[in-house]
Amino acid sequence: MDAILFEFKEGLLIALRAIKANKIRAALTMLGIFIGVTAVVLMSTAIKGIDNSFQKGISALGSDVLYISKWAWFSNEEWWKMRNRPNITMEDYYEFKELAKLPLAVAPVANSVQTIKYGDRRVENIFLTGSNADYVKTTNFTFEQGRFYSDVESNSSRNVAVIGSEIYKKLFPRGDALDKTIKIGGVNYKVVGVLAKQGSTVLGPFNPDNQVFIPIGTIFKNFVSRHFNSITINVRARSPEMVQETKDEAESVMRKIRGLAYNEPDNFSINQQEALQEQYNSVVGVIQIAGLFITGLSLFVGAIGIMNIMFVSVKERTKEIGLRKAIGAKRRTILAQFLLESTVICLMGGLIGLIAAILLSLMLNQFFPTSIQWSVVLIAILISLLTGIISGLAPAYTAAKMDPVEALRYE
């Protein structure tokens, strides 16, 4: 055991001395690994960052919320088969609320797209969500100012609005929106609440930061007809574990309300954000794999560089190897010496690359969501170690199996 430790120490010293003796060469070799590790780590932090911001955004929608609507979100079914389904009406909602026992909260939702104005500032194509006071219970909203509209306000269809944080920023750059009157599609509404930042931009129009919430009665009064438009019923389960149970109950309750016979298919769809997640995964998954593959190639190039330089190094030190072997160095001693050299170079390059990648990703974070994970740091170190060992193996083996006689004679 002691002998192996000693050999290890000795090998390390020789390796370090060799690296010192050829500073430029070692530095360039490290640069190769440095580039590879930086690229891979940076790519994975970027991927993780995008992922996180999507997850955060999607959790703003609530992972335990079901959306009962006329249309399926993503479906292979032909649209005309769903076209003739009956609309989901407010009456459906009232009955559903009466009959469903499992949900934590049930809220009706009707949407419209309108222009919002305050003074001479305006934002166009804003997603308007009409619901009742229960809506806030189906979300995890937090408020920057004010509150959600109350039961009284929604039941009596008052013109009150809660605005998302992005809209707040655009319409009220000087702050304080409470009790101000905004115009939604030309109709006056009083602002009673401002949401704190919720989601992220990846959600597009689903992002609550870009929405305005008003009582459902006023959306029917001012923007969409309650008779010709289908609403969505948002149903929140008591806990994520109960989503499936709640979904099953919701399906049977809806079938009962619709009076469907046992052999008729559902004439409504129960959507979950999982569908959104699947869509996201299928697109982003490919990009992730491609990104890691391409940056992985640069690491591979770095590894080739090391192997090349190690071969040179073995050739240059043929005489030295011959000498050491002649006075009794074992094969594994020589092997360990060269392996250690390549591993040290890789590890140093990798560590510097890692630090650079972390600094860069902190800088990039200003414009782009990135996220550093400890697992990535560990994997990067492991990868550079492995790179060193794998690319050092062939040259070290060549050195180890040299015939001392031939090696000493080498000119």
Partner 1 sequence: MKISQILAISLQSLKSNRLRTGLTILGVVVGIFSIILIMTILTMLQNSIDEGLSSLSKNTFQIQKNDQVFGHGPRREDRNRKDLTIEEAYRLKEMLPQAKYVGVEQWVFGKVAKFGNKETNPNIQIAGVSTDAMKTNDWNVEFGRDLRENDIDHSTNVCLIFQPIAEKLFPNIDPIGQTIRVDGRPLKVIGVIEKQSALFGSSRDNIIILPITTWQSIFGKYNHSVNITVMTHSDKDYQSVMEAAIGYMRKIRKVAAGEPNDFYIFSNESMISEINKITDPIKIIALAISLIALIAAGVGIMNIMLVSVTERTREIGIRKALGARKTWILSQFLFEAIILCVIGGLIGIVIGVSLGNFAGSLIHAQAAIPWEWVFIGLGLCIAVGVIFGTYPAYKAANLDPIEALRYE
Q: Can you tell me the distance from the alpha carbon of 89 to that of 232, in angstroms, rounded to the nearest whole number?
A: 9
Alpha-carbon distances, residue 106 vs 69, 225, 246, 277, 369 (angstroms): 13, 21, 11, 23, 34
Residues of this chain, 107-136, that bind partner 1 according to CB under 8 A:
124-125
Least gap, CB of 81 to partner 1 (angstroms): 9
Cβ proximity to partner 1, 309 vs 407, nearer residue:
309
Contact by Cβ (8 Å): 57, 200: yes
Binding map of partner 1 across residues 288-327, x = CB under 8 A, - = no contact:
--xx--xx-xxxxxx-xx-xxx-xx---x-----------
Residues of this chain, 2-31, that bind partner 1 according to CB under 8 A:
24-25, 28-29, 31
Residue 262 near partner 1 by CB under 8 A: no
Least gap, CB of 407 to partner 1 (angstroms): 17
Tokens matching residue 276:
């959104």
| Cross-strand partners of 118 | 121
Least gap, CB of 36 to partner 1 (angstroms): 6
Cβ proximity to partner 1, 124 vs 179, nearer residue:
124
Tokens matching residue 40:
């891979």
Binding map of partner 1 across residues 74-103, x = CB under 8 A, - = no contact:
----x-x--x--------------------
CB atoms within 10 A of CB 87: 14
Least gap, CB of 80 to partner 1 (angstroms): 4
Least gap, CB of 208 to partner 1 (angstroms): 20
Among the listed residues 12, 52, 24, 135, the one whose alpha carbon sits nearest the alpha carbon of residue 388: 12
Residue 68 host element (H or E): strand 65-69
Contact by Cβ (8 Å): 337, 14: yes
Residue 183 host element (H or E): strand 181-184
Positions in the binding site for partner 1 (CB under 8 A): 24-25, 28-29, 31-32, 35-36, 39, 43, 78, 80, 83, 124-125, 290-291, 294-295, 297-302, 304-305, 307-309, 311-312, 316
